[in-house]
Structure 1
Amino acid sequence: MKYTRIIVTRYGGPEVITVAEQECPAPMPGQVRVKVLAVGVSLPDVLAREGVHPETPRVPYTPGWDLVGIVDQVGKGVSGFELGQTVAAMPISGCYAQYVCLPQRKFIPVPAGLDPAEAVAVVLNYITAYQMLDRSAKVKPGQRVLIHGASGGVGTAFLQLGRLAGVEMYGTCSTQAAEVVKELGATPIDYRNSDFVQEIRHLTGDGVDAV
């Protein structure tokens, strides 16, 4: 069976993207093959294509940071996944293809009924926000956090996760986005018309625990 995938042949702009038709890979032992339903298009994808991201693959490579798809085949020794099941993965590259084979540990189930395009929009932003909140900052309930770019994709993900974690949050944003940031549980700080350092000191008295 043939399948199509995108290949970046050299680093650069959109002109370096090519389309290739090849034999579809079969899953090796321990691997799951998925039929790709949706992939993300993110800033890391663009930076990798340009060759400037810290985790840029060597060319030639297939781009695509994250995906949502349905299980199409499973390799020997795979358990916990069923044919037709919707799953998500974030392998950092390789997702711009009709079919993708990855080790089963790379996949997580996606709740039934979610739109694949909406589900894949969650993967990179929320994993990034979770890692900052839990692994890097290691904040505890009641601690204070300042989030820069609080109205962006990762910023809003951080606000939602931070609210669940019981964190006191302050977020830099534009005046237009202030209401959204407030609704998500943070105190908005207008980065264009105020000094956020002075504003944080004024609001908290002694600063924040993490930025």
Structure 2
Amino acid sequence: MPTTMRAVEITRPGGPEVLALTEQPVPQPMAGQILIEVAYAGVNRPDALQRAGAYAPPPSASPLPGLEAAGRVAAVGPGVSEWSVGDEVCALLPGGGYAEYVVTPAAHALPVPNGLGLKEAACLPETFFTVWTNVFERGGLKAGERFLVHGGSSGIGTTAIQLASAFGARVFATAGSAGKCAVCTELGAERAVNYRAEDFVEILRAEGGADLILDMVGGDYLPRNVRALADDGRLVQIAFLSGPKVELNFAQVMARRLTITGSTLRPQSDLAKARIATALRERVWPLIAAGRVAPVMDSEYPLSEAAAAHARIESSGHVGKIVLKVR
């Protein structure tokens, strides 16, 4: 086992150019943790927010970016019995994924699904944990309900469309071009709305309103989402790309019995994340193994080009997931 590793660090808050390839000590697994020799790391918008100084990691987490990775177990900490050295895993991480080695709670790792390689598996944890907990647990999506996801061509969006469709919901999505809308319908959306040319509020209201909306846009989408909901509908907020503040008439929320909620994944307890991992393994991993659900891949960059990967995700030109090839 080497004592040092290549890793990408955030040298200061700023744009993609502040990411630098450095040499760091290899972390050691503590009780209940595993050490993963990383093959691929997923790139996500929270990584870009952390780089910009807008999303601080928890005090106990690595300051290095990277919230998901796939690779092989290199070592196990005391008390770990479910994994052995050499097992191929993908895992949700508290941080530190942009590196050759990373530690994470053993309960946050999942086996690489049958039929997938490590590259594809690295795209699963962050988006699948987020979608499962927000759409199915917090949002309570049921078969036959009308579900709207904004940013349908993003990593979250492509995952949400597939899972909602697989569990029997009627799926609607928004995206910013005809090509991205086509991707959404190919993945299972019955209607994809080009938000640059159409009004999702009118379209959803014509269908009877959305029973559930998953939104990461925020800003002026908040009152529009309220109008697009059916009576007794639910809005789940997971990010604010257009800002968290807006004027909203809560009389509609009361009169129509609407529910507005939201969550972030990273600050949740280790136990909460372990429970999500168990649910995914039981309910979703069989769908992936059967080929009914799969990560949508956009692009791959070497670890040394993490800045280019961040520029790509912040351009919003991507469709699906971006990964860093570490080995």
Interval of TM-score (by shorter of Structure 1 and Structure 2): 0.7 to 0.9
The secondary structure found in structure 1 opposite 2:116 is: coil
Partner of 1:200: 204
Contact kept, 8 Å, 2:57 with 2:63, in 1: the verdict is no
The secondary structure found in structure 2 opposite 1:108 is: strand
The secondary structure found in structure 1 opposite 2:211 is: coil
Q: 2:195 aligns with which of 191, 197, 205?
A: 191
Contact kept, 8 Å, 2:31 with 2:77, in 1: the verdict is yes
Q: 1:125 aligns with which of 120, 124, 127?
A: 127
Contact kept, 8 Å, 1:24 with 1:99, in 2: the verdict is yes
- What fraction of aligned residue pairs are identical, expressed as a percent? 37
Partner of 2:113: 111
Task: Give the superposition deviation at 1:166.
Answer: 0.8
The secondary structure found in structure 2 opposite 1:62 is: coil
1:6 aligns with 2:15: no
More off after superposition, 137-146 vs 170-179: 170-179
Structure 2 unaligned regions, length at least 5: 214-327
Task: Give the superposition deviation at 1:180.
Answer: 2.5
Task: Give the superposition deviation at 1:96.
Answer: 1.7
Task: Give the superposition deviation at 1:75.
Answer: 2.0
Change (3 A) 1:70 1:208: same
The secondary structure found in structure 2 opposite 1:97 is: coil
- What amino acid maps onto 1:129 in structure 2? V
TM-score (norm 1): 0.86
Change (3 A) 1:43 1:179: same
Contact kept, 8 Å, 1:88 with 1:120, in 2: the verdict is yes
Change (3 A) 1:148 1:14: closer
Partner of 2:65: 63
TM-score (norm 2): 0.58
Contact kept, 8 Å, 1:125 with 1:153, in 2: the verdict is yes
The secondary structure found in structure 1 opposite 2:193 is: strand
- What amino acid maps onto 2:160 in structure 1? F
Contact kept, 8 Å, 1:9 with 1:60, in 2: the verdict is no
Structure 1 unaligned regions, length at least 5: none
Change (3 A) 1:61 1:178: closer
Instruction: Measure, in 2, the Cα distance between the counterparts of 1:183 and 1:113.
Output: 21
Task: Give the superposition deviation at 1:167.
Answer: 0.6
Instruction: Measure, in 1, the Cα distance between the counterparts of 2:159 and 2:29.
Output: 33
Task: Give the superposition deviation at 1:198.
Answer: 1.3
Contact kept, 8 Å, 1:150 with 1:156, in 2: the verdict is yes
- What amino acid maps onto 1:160 in structure 2? Q
1:41 aligns with 2:12: no
Change (3 A) 1:68 1:201: same
Instruction: Measure, in 2, the Cα distance between the counterparts of 1:162 and 1:62.
Output: 33
Instruction: Measure, in 1, the Cα distance between the counterparts of 2:148 and 2:42.
Output: 27
Contact kept, 8 Å, 1:148 with 1:172, in 2: the verdict is yes
Task: Give the superposition deviation at 1:30.
Answer: 2.3
Partner of 1:161: 163
Q: CA RMSD in A?
A: 2.3
- What amino acid maps onto 1:190 in structure 2? N
Contact kept, 8 Å, 2:69 with 2:123, in 1: the verdict is no
Instruction: Measure, in 2, the Cα distance between the counterparts of 1:151 and 1:119.
Output: 19
Partner of 1:141: 143
